[in-house]
Amino acid sequence: MKRTCLILLLVLNIAFMTKASREDILINENWTFRFSYQVQPNSGQRVDLPHTWNAMDALSGKQDYYRGMGNYEKQLFARPEWKDKRIYLRFEGANTVTDLFVNGAHVGEHRGGYGAFVFEITRFLKYGENNNLLVKVSNALTLDVIPLVGDFNMYGGIYRDLHLIVTDPISISLTDYASPGVYLTQKKITKELAEIQAKVVLSSAIESSQPVEIRVKVSDNQKVIQEQSIRKDISRGDNQSVEIPFTLKNPHLWNGRKDPFLYKVEVSLLSGGKEVDRIVQPLGLRFYHVDENKGFFLNGEPLKLRGVCRHQDRAERGNALWKEHHEEDAAIMAEMGVNAVRLSHYPQASYFYELMDRYGIVVWSEIPLVGPGGYADQGYVNQASFRSNGKEQLKELIRQHFNHPSICFWGLFNELKTVGDNPVEYIKELNALAHEEDPSRLTTSASFLEDENPINRISDLIAWNKYYGWYGGSPELLGQWADKVHAAYPEFRIAISEYGAGASIYHQQDSVKQGQASGWWHPENWQTYYHRENWKVISERPYIWGSFIWVMFDFGAAHRTEGDRPGVNDKGLVTADRKVKKDAYYFYKANWNNEDKFIYISGRRHRERPQGKTDIMVFSNLLSLDLYVNGIFIERQFPDAYATFQWKNVDLSKGKNEIEIRSSISKIKLQDKVVWWCR
């Protein structure tokens, strides 16, 4: 009997503790969607989130894809036991301007398409009843919300998860720019000692002052290694801060792809001796700097940042991605050997930052202050509301993602022009704001303007978008340009923020000739040549602290009329559906990933070849390879300095030819085969 009572008491205590802590409920399912112009009764359709209404029209190359307002509606039952709680809706992302109504009453508005935002709906709900949620989202161009322009689609909709969060009246704040309410500042990190300051932001809806206890517990995934607590009286109101410093001796450092070790920090809030809220955050301890001559250093060791750019965009889905899509993208990047990523040109899903933490991939994260590049219009308007919105979005970016160790750089702009409304003074304000919000990280920018332009001298670091060999010129000009800038401005810490060339897997040719960037012929073998030559230039210059291929995956850009179909930017190393990795992908994998042994025959999709002799090029991270044609051994080859094997003037017979490349090391059983036909 005593045993039964003890078990019952334990179960009741666990149930109480679960009930006392916050609840986080996804409410993605069963929404009714209609465009705002559809005013007829029953004109809506059932959708689930994430959702965008532009998955079809924008991705088909329709340049005037719908940019207007859509309505999302749902019935939400407010449980009676929530009456003494606080209720919030947390939007992970909705593009671009969002207004929330509960039971017909306007709750609030958020202006910006790429950050999370939170509304408290406690006083708007009827408890024990169904409540009507109406979310009106507009992706129409608005001159005081960034971005104004961009070489990508501005998909509309609630395209990320939507959470219903239930907390006690006293909680860790949800409304500090939709941050987790916990900031882990790395004050000083060495291999011997880590000094960290935890700032916890609290919120109370109780009229009188209340005593609370805040506990910070650090674990190394096996045991608790540090625990601190502090008591404080909290009054009614939001965003009341408590700071708790702690140190770790001989810390296990987050060391990029080599060792992306993460501590777990658990912050608990107790009131009346009972836990009323709890937040868990990652802690990856690292220190880094960028030298103008030697590049990027992580934890005191040089690390050449071999990066890619990534859009949150996918065939058939637009930007309405599921977790599985983010996981697939991260895995494809890791397989290629990527150790850095520029999340262009806006904050991306929180889950993707988590994946970068776990993979050990260094992140450049930026706000969507985007210029037109080679297109019309401007990316900056000198008006107070525009300037305010950019600053709000920068605060959202930094506060929401502050604790991700993968993030080393805050990006301020991409390809802004300095004619007309000149953004230089505004960029200075953004740079100062970024350092005020986060003194521990570096700022950077992606420019395409001449070297001496003042806009290139504002952020801590500077990078350029350079396309020698695609938009004019030849690849070797990249090295000439970089050397000239480094000599003229030795204080600049230089990176290449974009470089790339278009490629269709359906465009194959006998010779290596450049396609027309704005035309309908984008041969795959030119993209391969382009990247081989550009990477040689970059890899040989240690002062280039990082390079970021444009782009990892093909993505939607409705205004583009080029390649094998309209509406797609095909500079990706992987197709938009993630089904085909282009030849250039394997060139980088051979150079960047020495662990995953492989053989890849380049030009494999060029199946129809002229009769006679042909060249064969192979990418591999092995030390020697053997060529067989129609089962007959031809020759053994060794790689050049860039993991490339070449056989020149190989005889092919008329008709079918089976090309096989085998590892010449008997212990490594690897091979690759293609079939080519001679005309």
Give catalytic residue positions.
415
Residue with tokens 């991409």: 414
Q: Diameter of the chain by CA atoms?
A: 91
Burial of 40 (0-12, 13-18, 19+ CB in 10 A): exposed
Hunting for tokens 């797609």 — which residue is that? 568
Q: Is the peptide bond before 50 cis (omega within 30 degrees of 0)?
A: yes
State the residue for tokens 């005020």. 436
Helix, strand, coil % in the chain, rounded to nearest 5:
20, 40, 40
Which residue, 434, 427, 429, 432, is CA-closest to 397? 434
- DSSP classification of residue 574: B
Contacts of 512 (CB under 8 A, 6+ apart): 525, 526, 529
Please state the length of the chain: 679
**228 three-state secondary structure:** strand
C-alpha of 339 from chain center:
13
Of 515, 504, 634, the C-alpha closest to 571 is 504
Q: At what angle do helices 323-336 and 350-359 cross, to 10 degrees?
A: 30
Separation of alpha carbons 595 and 257, rounded Å: 12
Taking the C-alpha atoms of residue 314 and residue 325, their distance in angstroms, rounded to an integer, is: 8
Would you call the peptide bond into 345 cis, given omega within 30 degrees of 0 as the criterion?
Answer: yes
Q: Answer for the pair 409, 444: CB distance below 8 angstroms, yes or no.
A: yes
Query: ω into residue 551 within 30 of 0, thus cis?
Result: yes
Instruction: State how beta strands 97-102 and 130-138 pair.
Output: antiparallel
Quote the CA–CA distance of 293 and 463 in Å, as a whole number. 15
Is 497 within 8 Å of 446 (Cβ atoms)? yes
